[in-house]
């Protein structure tokens, strides 16, 4: 067991070394276990020809290792969302209209009815229509952490409200991120700022969402002993996300990304600050606070595991952005043309020959079909789908081991549930 912080840090260093050992294996060494059969390519086919959807998916599934991300029957959480019961989903959705009414029909802003009407429209368009991973995870964690006698209707309602506050936090981040990155579509519909009646006013709308979140927190939790800790958590996550956005934008100061900055250390930092903290640590931290757990060591142990899960979740998302089937993921990948620092790009640069690095320089971050196709072909030449499958297996095994070593009364089944949802396996 991890009886001390030092022993846990020692385990985590071994974890990183093992994963990086798999990633850094070069495909130029013929006996490397990172090698896999070459992808089937017709002799007459131009390397510039792009393949997407089921055809590319079928090719990738010829790898001999199990690759859960590409198993259509069991898609991972990055694609299909957190697996919860239909009753829980209905229970969660049933609370949202009441939250909107509390925010817009309480008579607080009767002298600006048009603003209240706009807030209702803003909330309904943006908040409830995604996968709701973070909100549902908050409720799941609370129900698994709370004592059975405390799972009263009132407390379960509060957990659902907290879940929607987390979803409003997520929406606030998405609205700003879509404006900064010029994203056009979100969840199958035009991004909020792309609507003719919004535009750059979406910046103020993001502030409205954030204000609505804090208003809901105050309305429902201001008399609770954990209220101040909850506010600190939301504020801390806001700071971390903002820092993550800043570090990411540093790499895109010009029209082309600076590939010399694409290191694994930088990628891990961006992933941790932009995704892992508020997607994985935040829901469980809030649930712990709601159940009266404020012990720093307990929160630290949970954080250590959850941040590693969050890192893999983002790597999985990067992989699906490039190799996922849009008819299944409901998302057309844009990471390559956007020039983002992704796990695939970082590993490709680690492995590439000088000639292959020049291909990256010439094509990465270029919004042309032939440039995108050339990068995807390079990823396949470097055997990155196989490398990902090895990384997936290694990460899964190491996370299971780490979960089994958790102390401080944290239920192992909670972390196994989240792990199962990421990898979509029967644990």
Helix (H, G, I), strand (E, B) or coil at 49: coil
What DSSP letter does each residue of 224-253 carry, written as one string? Answer: STTHHHHHHHHHHHHHHHHHHHHHHHHTTS
Domains of the chain and any CATH numbers: 84-224 (1.10.600.10), 225-426 (1.10.600.10)
Do 166 and 282 meet the contact criterion of CB atoms below 8 Å apart? Answer: yes
Do 349 and 259 meet the contact criterion of CB atoms below 8 Å apart? Answer: yes
- In this structure, what are the phi and psi dihedrals at residue 252, rounded to the nearest 5 degrees? -125, 45
CA angle 108, 164, 340 (to 5 degrees): 115
Report the pLDDT averaged over residues 180-193: 91
Q: Is the pLDDT of residue 56 over 90?
A: no
Q: Is the pLDDT of residue 40 over 50?
A: no
Q: Which residue would you say has higher pLDDT here, 353 or 54?
A: 353
pLDDT, one tens digit per residue, over 324-344 is 888 777 677 899 999 999 999
| Closest residue by Cα to residue 46 from 397, 342, 373, 375 | 373
Among 57-71, 72-86, 196-210, 293-307, where is mean pLDDT lowest?
57-71
Report the pLDDT averaged over residues 215-220: 98
Do 310 and 279 meet the contact criterion of CB atoms below 8 Å apart? Answer: yes
Do 137 and 83 meet the contact criterion of CB atoms below 8 Å apart? Answer: no
C-alpha 65: how far from chain center: 24
Where does residue 163 fall: left (phi above 0), alpha (psi -120 to 50 degrees), or beta otherwise?
alpha
Q: Is the pLDDT of residue 345 over 90?
A: yes
Do 412 and 403 meet the contact criterion of CB atoms below 8 Å apart? Answer: yes
pLDDT at 63: 44
Among 243-247, 334-338, 386-390, 406-410, where is mean pLDDT lowest?
406-410
| Closest residue by Cα to residue 81 from 142, 126, 128, 144 | 128
pLDDT at 376: 97
Under the banding of pLDDT at 50, 70 and 90, the label for residue 25 is: very low
- Which residues have C-beta within 8 Å of that of residue 120, sequence separation ≥ 6? 100, 103, 104
CA 388/CA 394 separation, integer angstroms: 10
Q: Is the pLDDT of residue 42 over 60?
A: no
pLDDT at 62: 44
Report the pLDDT averaged over residues 56-77: 50
Under the banding of pLDDT at 50, 70 and 90, the label for residue 99 is: very high
| Closest residue by Cα to residue 113 from 400, 212, 121 | 121
pLDDT at 251: 84
Do 36 and 383 meet the contact criterion of CB atoms below 8 Å apart? Answer: yes
pTM above 0.85, yes or no: no
| Closest residue by Cα to residue 170 from 147, 121, 148, 137 | 137
Q: Is the pLDDT of residue 212 over 90?
A: yes
Report the pLDDT averaged over residues 82-96: 90
- Our CA dihedral for 212, 218, 221, 222, rounded to 10 degrees, sits at 170
| Closest residue by Cα to residue 343 from 22, 15, 31, 81 | 22
CA 114/CA 356 separation, integer angstroms: 56
Q: Is the pLDDT of residue 46 over 80?
A: no
Under the banding of pLDDT at 50, 70 and 90, the label for residue 278 is: very high
Report the pLDDT averaged over residues 312-316: 95
pLDDT at 406: 86
Q: Name the range with the highest mean pLDDT among 38-47, 106-115, 325-334.
A: 106-115
pLDDT at 107: 72
What DSSP letter does each residue of 293-327 carry, written as one string? Answer: ---HHHHHHHHHHHHHHHHHHHHHHHHHHHHS-HH
C-alpha 285: how far from chain center: 17
pLDDT at 392: 93
pLDDT at 358: 98
Report the pLDDT averaged over residues 67-72: 53
pLDDT at 256: 85
Report the pLDDT averaged over residues 275-302: 96
Helix (H, G, I), strand (E, B) or coil at 189: strand
Under the banding of pLDDT at 50, 70 and 90, the label for residue 77 is: low
Under the banding of pLDDT at 50, 70 and 90, the label for residue 408 is: confident
Report the pLDDT averaged over residues 10-31: 51
Q: What residue spans of 39-186 are helical by DSSP H?
A: 53-60, 77-80, 86-104, 113-126, 133-145, 153-181
The percent of residues in the chain predicted with pLDDT above 70, rounded, is: 79
pLDDT, one tens digit per residue, over 120-131 is 999 999 999 999
| Closest residue by Cα to residue 350 from 15, 4, 22, 7 | 22
CA 123/CA 278 separation, integer angstroms: 20
- In this structure, what are the phi and psi dihedrals at residue 425, rounded to the nearest 5 degrees? -125, 165
pLDDT at 330: 67
């Amino acid at each position: 067991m991890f009886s001390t912080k030092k022993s846990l840090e020692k385990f985590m260093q071994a974890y990183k070394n093992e994963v990086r050992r798999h990633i850094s294996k070069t495909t130029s060494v013929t006996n490397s276990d990172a090698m896999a059969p070459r992808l089937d390519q017709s002799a007459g086919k131009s390397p510039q020809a792009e393949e997407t959807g089921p055809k590319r998916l079928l090719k990738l599934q010829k790898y001999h290792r199990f690759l859960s991300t590409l198993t259509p029957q069991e898609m991972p959480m990055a694609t299909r969302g957190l697996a919860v019961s239909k009753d829980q989903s209905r229970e969660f959705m049933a609370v949202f209209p009441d939250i909107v009414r509390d925010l817009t029909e309480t008579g607080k802003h009767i002298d600006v009815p048009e603003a209240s009407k706009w807030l209702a429209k803003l909330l309904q368009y943006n908040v409830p229509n995604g996968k709701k991973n973070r909100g549902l995870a908050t409720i799941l964690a609370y129900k698994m952490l709370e004592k059975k006698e405390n799972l009263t209707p009132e407390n379960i309602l509060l957990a659902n409200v907290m879940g929607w506050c987390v979803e409003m936090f997520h929406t606030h981040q998405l609205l700003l991120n879509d404006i900064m990155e010029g994203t056009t579509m979100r969840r199958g519909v035009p991004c909020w700022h792309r609507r003719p009646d919004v535009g750059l006013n979406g910046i103020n709308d993001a502030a409205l969402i954030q204000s609505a979140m804090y208003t809901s927190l105050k309305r429902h939790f201001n008399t609770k002993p954990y209220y101040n800790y909850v506010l600190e958590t939301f504020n801390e996550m806001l700071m971390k996300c903002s820092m993550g956005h800043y570090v990411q934008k540093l790499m895109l100061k010009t029209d082309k990304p600076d590939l010399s900055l694409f290191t694994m250390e930088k990628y891990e930092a961006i992933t941790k600050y932009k995704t892992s903290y508020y997607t994985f640590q935040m829901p469980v931290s809030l649930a712990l606070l709601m159940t009266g757990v404020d012990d720093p060591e307990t929160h630290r142990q949970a954080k250590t595991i959850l941040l590693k899960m969050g890192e893999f979740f983002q790597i999985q998302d990067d992989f699906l952005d490039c190799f996922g089937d849009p008819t299944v993921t409901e998302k057309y990948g844009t990471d390559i043309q956007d020039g983002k620092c992704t796990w695939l790009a970082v590993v490709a640069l680690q492995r590439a020959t000088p000639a292959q690095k020049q291909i990256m320089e010439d094509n990465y971050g270029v919004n042309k079909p032939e440039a995108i196709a050339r990068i995807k072909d390079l990823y396949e030449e470097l055997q990155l789908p196989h490398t990902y499958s090895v990384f997936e297996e290694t990460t899964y095994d190491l996370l299971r081991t780490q979960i089994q070593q958790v102390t401080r009364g944290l239920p192992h089944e909670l972390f196994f549930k989240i792990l199962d949802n990421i990898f979509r396996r029967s644990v």
